[in-house]
Structure 1
């Protein structure tokens, strides 16, 4: 899943303080009732958020659906 451009600027503001190896950004994610920790992956000037199949199934998300997430950047 790609992070919307308007949110990418906010992530960039804190990226240098929290990034580790290859520009990865540690985050906590909430999507519906599901919560997990992962990292944002830099790609083409933006960021990708991995979304597990187990979360897609639990939350009833199909490929191509637009979803709303709560994202918190974690410190090192």
Structure 2
């Protein structure tokens, strides 16, 4: 399964170096319904991601038990795509096949 969505890039905490995008709740619910096996550690879900010309493998992490997933966006991608905190980005994700 694969999806595409627009989301704002945000910093996890004001002084943190981690940046994320938040999946829409409806999309997060779709991901949960699509899983065929148990999630990984901390409820993580392995995905392939693309933003612009950059693609990589990572994991989605839930914000709470039924909340939306968040997706980490590494510095190399932010630099390559010229994006920063507060920018809206188009994200494509696909669940990794087990």
TM-score (norm 1): 0.88
Identify the residue that residue 39 of structure 2 maps to in structure 1.
Answer: 19
The alpha-carbon deviation at position 14 of structure 1 amounts to 2.1
Q: What is the CA RMSD across the aligned residues, in angstroms?
A: 1.4
Identify the residue that residue 67 of structure 1 maps to in structure 2.
Answer: 89
* Unmatched tracts of structure 1, length 5 or more: none
How many residues matched? 76
Structure with higher helix content: 1
- Detail structure 1 runs of 4+ shifted over 4 Å in the superposition: none
The alpha-carbon deviation at position 5 of structure 1 amounts to 1.7
> CA contact under 8 A between 1:18 and 1:74: conserved in structure 2?
no
The partner residue of 2:52 within 29, 32, 36 is 32
* Unmatched tracts of structure 2, length 5 or more: 1-20
